[in-house]
Chains A and B, each alone.
Chain A
Amino acid sequence: MAMIDEPLYPIAILIDELKNEDIQLRLNSIRRLSTIARALGEERTRKELIPFLSENNDDDDEVLLAMAEELGVFIPYVGGVEYAHVLLPPLETLCTVEETCVRDKAVESLCRIGAQMKENDLVDWFVPLVKRLAAGEWFTARVSSCGLFHIAYSSAPDHLKTELRSIYGQLCQDDMPMVRRAAATNLGKFAATVEPSHLKTEIMSIFEDLTQDDQDSVRLLAVEGCAALGKLLEPQDCVTHILPVIVNFSQDKSWRVRYMVANQLYELCEAVGPEPTRADLVPAYVRLLRDNEAEVRIAAAGKVTKFCRILSPQLAIQHILPCVKELSSDSSQHVRSALASVIMGMAPVLGKDATIEQLLPIFLSLLKDEFPDVRLNIISKLDQVNQVIGIDLLSQSLLPAIVELAEDRHWRVRLAIIEYIPLLASQLGVGFFDDKLGALCMQWLEDKVFSIRDAAANNLKRLAEEFGPEWAMQHIIPQVLDKINNPHYLYRMTILHAISLLAPVMGADITCQKLLPVVIASSKDRVPNIKFNVAKVLQSLVPILDQSVVESTIRPCLVELSEDPDVDVRYFASQALQACDQVMMPS
């Protein structure tokens, strides 16, 4: 064993641990590969470290993943771009491992290195690597090769370009569906580097083969290619080549393919231009909105706003709106829920008249939906409608919906509506709020479920922030303080919690005059839980209040509590007393 100088000791450990039994230590060493490389110097990194990594590639996937990532930024450590090619062999082997995430990372790193390599180096080293992988015995290598063509292609001379295109064509017809899927996924990226003349001929014929694949999973990915290719082609070519394909796809036998079309269709509208959109894509989209399969309708309904934004208002009103009306009473609650989450966005597109005439009845029916998620989705986007039609028109039907949600038997629904109350309050204004919603907010403080009581207390704080302390003094504080006499200690505890939240918003004066006496009175409660919560609340009030008040009112109360028979009360009282002392300290 060699003797190592003292300062080199840590690096020596790092190197030795590349082969440690413990995976954590190996991972640690691999993550610090750049340190090892700097210690070895550029030449020995090229001649020893990189070959060493290439040979020792039967490690655990976590280590390989880290190695793939490190090698992607390793160019500076091997002597710069002219030596970048030495990094290719270890990454090439990583491109063939079975674990998908390792392969993906290796491909990513290869692309990163390839993008920096000089043109003739790419031809000498990168293109042969792509060809080797594409001809690999195992499907894993061929899958990885698909993601590298777009780097290799642009700098290759003409004869190599022809070869690369034909290899890609073969990959799209591979026996293994995994390879065809990878080829379909990367087609858009590759096509972007191919010259327009070849794009129209070879790439489009490859694409057409993929669109007719037996495997649904391949056709699915070809749908994604539609939008990518559509953007590369001239509008008229897009109409002749892509449009028929997507129209076909929208009537595919497999619901998963139609589902993908429903998700992607709006992206294609821009590529083909307005006229084909009107003639072909709108009817296709309408079909998807009326699809037999609920999953497809869910996807289509979720895109209704994005699609309408591309169309002229007349088209949207004429073709899409009738479907939206149907969907609002769809048999699947998930479809209605998807619609409810986006339908608000249609209001600005349609304009005020159409919104009031056509959209409003749909909002209202969704607001009365039997399924709470649908109602919640509408309420959560209320601000968008407000901008178009104003809240007055809505408020009449809004209130019953809110009240019903506020009393829903599922506490999660109640919780969701509480969280929207501040938004509603800001939209509806003080007047409306006082009349209708104030009582609800108080009612939640006495909910059976703790999370609701907790959220109700928070809600009061947010309302006080929204409408100011004066308003809160009139509309919140008296009602809250009333409830401190509730016979059940859990509700009294909620009130104490609400007081501690409200105090910072209300300011020192109101706290001192109104809130503090209630807290102090509670220190005589017969339930120890209330008493130690009083201690906690008092502690939270210390920074807000004047020092004289702390000394005259809070401290005596805490001292009394610190002599309580209950151990928890004594503990929290002493904690609070310490906090008082700390505030006194600086003076």
Chain B
Amino acid sequence: MNGKGPEDARDPAAPPALEWKFAQVFGERTAGEEVQEVDIISAIEFDKSGDHLATGDRGGRVVLFERTDVRAHGCRRDLERLDYPVSRHPEFRYQTEFQSHEPEFDYLKSLEIEEKINKIRWCQTANSALFLLSTNDKTIKFWKVQEKKVKRISEMNLDPSQAGGNDSSASSSTAGPRACLPNGGCSYNYMCNDFSFPPGGFPSLRLPVVAGQETSLVAKCRRIYAHAHDYHINSISNNSDGETFISADDLRINLWNLEISNQSFNIVDVKPANMEDLTEVITSAEFHPTHCNTLAYSSSKGSIRLLDLRQSALCDNHSQLFEEHEASSSRSFFTEIIASISDIKFGKDGRHILSRDYMTLKLWDINMDSRPVATFQVHEYLRPKLCDLYENDSIFDKFECCLSGDGLRVATGSYSNLFRVFGCVAGSTEAMTLEASKNPMRRQVQSPARTARSLSSLTRVVRRGAESPGIDANGNSYDFTTKLLHLAWHPTENSIACAAANSLYMYYA
């Protein structure tokens, strides 16, 4: 704007603001349709390639979507070399769904365990089978989703309808398959003793012929990692080494080997000896995208800790602490509550960490722990209403955040099914407000985001996107019941998937 700071010189480098367009919606609500509680989406995650998308819901189901605008893994690179029109954008289609978790009851503690999927994480793909981890409050499950041939067997030696010891699928309804097993076994033993096999074998025996080329997707639970968390699991995250992952609850972080489900190692424990001394809980944790020994976790006090797993087996001492100290003048009753970080994400480069607290998004550079490199106001117009938000518990809503694959932009959700996209390169003034509907730009504010001049010239820390208060005055009442908590950015393209209650909206730019 009118500042002549060094940022302005870099302005041309900042990419132009994106124009977001509606791409797809799954599970759109028709007017007046009631949303079933179990259908509300509670987790969204793209896989590493961006060819697959998974959502989890409060009913414990996981739904998979696959990208349709690219044919196969191998030829995508060739396709990209061709000159395609810019309008190409990722398109997904429903692939399959499965019931990941069921409601349970912990009889020892008299606690109901909800089936709600808290987090989904994709694992390394192998042999065209998809692998993912899903978790509810207590139990993590490892799923394999694979095409299976639908078998039609013909050319049996024995007629399945024939009576007797033959146990084909037809007879299982009457005798039960297990009942026939000893029968086969006995006869076999008798053969062994009294029978001599001719050198050429018996020509009358034949192998079954499997016909049919159709396949269907089958999800199979491969492992269950249970009984390791006393509190509710808030995050799971895969390590870049491909063999371990972590799970974090309010007070502890455990390290697992994917292949071993009966033991895990506790690597962080913030539980005080006396629970009355408890002042801070873990809210989110994530592994570094490439450094297998680096792990970050956020806390309810608004700090982010970076751990080095090499240093010691029990990582109670952090290697770096990222914290921003609020000026004491601006403190209020709500300061501590809204400082709580609800989500952190590493950038793909591994150098930046994005954090979301109630009012802001903060981008941190791991080389600077004193303050974030950028702070974005998500819904500053709610600040006067914090009291109401506290009254109706909305202030404890946990919004997720995400970074674009190129690291140029960040996004997070808000109320009234709105979400915000900010440019985070130095000098960018991009700050979009989008609505999770078929017309995302409906709520776009015309006035450009302001830059806080005094701050930027002094510290280079840029505060952007503080919205003009006019939007509050334009008659829109903010709906705290429709909140957009979950969203994910496609790993390679400018495409965002976000959840509005039970609907999954996808946008591209």
> Is B one of A's binding partners?
yes
Contacts of A21 in B (CB 8 A): 169, 172, 177
Known A39-B205, A56-B210, A140-B126; judge A12-B311 contact (CB<8 A): no
- Complex interface: stretch among B98-106, B195-203, B494-502: B195-203
Q: Does B77 contact A (CB under 8 A)?
A: no
Known A19-B153, A217-B243; judge A8-B205 contact (CB<8 A): yes
| B156 A1 Cβ-Cβ under 8 A | yes
Contacts of B243 in A (CB 8 A): 177-178, 181, 217
| B177 A22 Cβ-Cβ under 8 A | yes
In whole Å, how far is B313's beta carbon from the nearest beta carbon of chain A?
A: 5
Q: Does B310 contact A (CB under 8 A)?
A: yes
| B199 A41 Cβ-Cβ under 8 A | yes
Q: Does B166 contact A (CB under 8 A)?
A: yes
| A38 B201 Cβ-Cβ under 8 A | yes
| A16 B208 Cβ-Cβ under 8 A | yes
Q: Does B190 contact A (CB under 8 A)?
A: yes
- A58–B147 CA distance with the chains assembled, in angstroms: 9
Q: Does B336 contact A (CB under 8 A)?
A: no
| A41 B201 Cβ-Cβ under 8 A | yes
Q: Which one of B191, B205, B259, B311 has the highest number of Cβ atoms from chain A below 10 Å of its Cβ?
A: B205
| A13 B158 Cβ-Cβ under 8 A | yes
Known A8-B205, A293-B312; judge A215-B241 contact (CB<8 A): yes
Known A35-B188, A96-B127; judge A40-B313 contact (CB<8 A): no
Q: Does B204 contact A (CB under 8 A)?
A: yes
Interface string of B134-147 (1 = CB under 8 A from A): 00000000001010
Q: Does A25 contact B (CB under 8 A)?
A: yes
| A40 B126 Cβ-Cβ under 8 A | no
Interface string of A17-38 (1 = CB under 8 A from B): 1111110110010001001001
Q: Does A275 contact B (CB under 8 A)?
A: no
| A11 B292 Cβ-Cβ under 8 A | no
Partner of B292, one of A16, A215, A293: A215
| B168 A16 Cβ-Cβ under 8 A | yes
Within 8 A of A (CB), among B149-163: 149, 151, 153, 156-159, 162
Contacts of B309 in A (CB 8 A): 216, 254
Which residue on B lies nearest to A293, using beta carbons? B312
Q: List 16 A-B contacts (CB under 8 A).
A: A1-B159, A1-B162, A4-B158, A4-B204, A10-B184, A16-B168, A21-B177, A25-B177, A28-B185, A40-B202, A45-B201, A98-B126, A181-B243, A215-B292, A256-B310, A294-B312
| A20 B202 Cβ-Cβ under 8 A | no
Partner of A98, one of B127, B167, B168, B310: B127
| B200 A43 Cβ-Cβ under 8 A | yes
Contacts of B198 in A (CB 8 A): 41
Q: Sorted from nearest, which 7 A-B pairs have the closest CB atoms?
A: A41-B201, A10-B187, A254-B310, A12-B157, A22-B177, A1-B159, A98-B126
Contacts of B312 in A (CB 8 A): 255, 292-295
In whole Å, how far is B461's beta carbon from the nearest beta carbon of chain A?
A: 32
| B172 A40 Cβ-Cβ under 8 A | no
Partner of A15, one of B159, B208, B310: B208
Q: Does B293 contact A (CB under 8 A)?
A: yes
Q: Does B242 contact A (CB under 8 A)?
A: yes
Known A12-B157, A217-B241; judge A7-B191 contact (CB<8 A): yes
Which residue on B lies nearest to A253, using beta carbons? B310
Within 8 A of B (CB), among A151-199: 176-178, 181
Interface string of A239-265 (1 = CB under 8 A from B): 000000000000011111000000000
| A19 B292 Cβ-Cβ under 8 A | no
Partner of A10, one of B191, B207, B244: B191
Which residue on B lies nearest to A53, using beta carbons? B207
Contacts of A97 in B (CB 8 A): 127
- A44–B192 CA distance with the chains assembled, in angstroms: 20
Q: How many residues of A contact B (CB 8 A)?
A: 64
- A216–B291 CA distance with the chains assembled, in angstroms: 10
Interface string of B69-102 (1 = CB under 8 A from A): 0000000000000000000000000000000000
Q: Does B454 contact A (CB under 8 A)?
A: no
Within 8 A of A (CB), among B363-413: none
Q: Does A138 contact B (CB under 8 A)?
A: yes
In whole Å, how far is A439's beta carbon from the nearest beta carbon of chain B?
A: 39
Which residue on B lies nearest to A22, using beta carbons? B177
Partner of B206, one of A2, A25, A56, A214: A2
Known A24-B177, A140-B126; judge A214-B310 contact (CB<8 A): no
Known A28-B181, A40-B202; judge A294-B159 contact (CB<8 A): no
Which residue on A lies nearest to B207, using beta carbons? A52
| B151 A16 Cβ-Cβ under 8 A | no
Q: Identify whether the interface residues of B are mostly helix, strand, loop, or mixed.
A: loop
In whole Å, how far is A484's beta carbon from the nearest beta carbon of chain B?
A: 41
Q: Does B508 contact A (CB under 8 A)?
A: no
In whole Å, how far is A212's beta carbon from the nearest beta carbon of chain B?
A: 15
Interface string of B106-140 (1 = CB under 8 A from A): 00000000000000000010110101000000000
- A483–B159 CA distance with the chains assembled, in angstroms: 74
Q: Does B165 contact A (CB under 8 A)?
A: yes
Partner of B126, one of A18, A55, A56, A138: A138
- A294–B313 CA distance with the chains assembled, in angstroms: 8
| B158 A12 Cβ-Cβ under 8 A | yes
Contacts of B200 in A (CB 8 A): 41, 43
- A16–B153 CA distance with the chains assembled, in angstroms: 9
- A48–B192 CA distance with the chains assembled, in angstroms: 23
Which residue on B lies nearest to A44, using beta carbons? B201
Within 8 A of B (CB), among A130-145: 138-140
| A11 B166 Cβ-Cβ under 8 A | no
Contacts of B293 in A (CB 8 A): 216, 254
Q: Does B320 contact A (CB under 8 A)?
A: no
Which residue on A lies nearest to B189, using beta carbons? A10
Sample of 19 more A-B contacts, CB < 8 Å, known A16-B168, A140-B126: A4-B204, A8-B202, A10-B187, A10-B191, A14-B184, A16-B157, A16-B166, A18-B208, A19-B151, A19-B208, A21-B172, A40-B207, A41-B198, A48-B207, A55-B210, A138-B127, A177-B292, A256-B310, A293-B313
| B197 A39 Cβ-Cβ under 8 A | yes
- A253–B308 CA distance with the chains assembled, in angstroms: 10
Q: Does A5 contact B (CB under 8 A)?
A: yes
Contacts of B129 in A (CB 8 A): 98
| A139 B124 Cβ-Cβ under 8 A | yes
Q: Does A49 contact B (CB under 8 A)?
A: yes
Known A13-B184, A178-B242, A255-B313; judge A18-B292 contact (CB<8 A): no
Contacts of B242 in A (CB 8 A): 176-178
Q: Does B240 contact A (CB under 8 A)?
A: yes
Which residue on A lies nearest to B292, using beta carbons? A215
In whole Å, how far is A29's beta carbon from the nearest beta carbon of chain B?
A: 9
Within 8 A of A (CB), among B207-263: 207-208, 210, 222, 240-244, 259
Q: Does A9 contact B (CB under 8 A)?
A: yes
Q: Does B4 contact A (CB under 8 A)?
A: no
Partner of A1, one of B158, B199, B241: B158
Contacts of B153 in A (CB 8 A): 19
| A2 B190 Cβ-Cβ under 8 A | no
In whole Å, how far is B288's beta carbon from the nearest beta carbon of chain A?
A: 11
Contacts of B331 in A (CB 8 A): none
| B188 A15 Cβ-Cβ under 8 A | no
| B207 A15 Cβ-Cβ under 8 A | yes
Q: Does B10 contact A (CB under 8 A)?
A: no
Contacts of A9 in B (CB 8 A): 158, 165, 187
In whole Å, how far is A139's beta carbon from the nearest beta carbon of chain B?
A: 7
Contacts of A18 in B (CB 8 A): 207-208
Known A19-B208, A58-B148; judge A98-B240 contact (CB<8 A): no
Q: Does B178 contact A (CB under 8 A)?
A: yes
Q: Does A380 contact B (CB under 8 A)?
A: no
Partner of A11, one of B146, B205, B222: B205
In whole Å, how far is A505's beta carbon from the nearest beta carbon of chain B?
A: 42
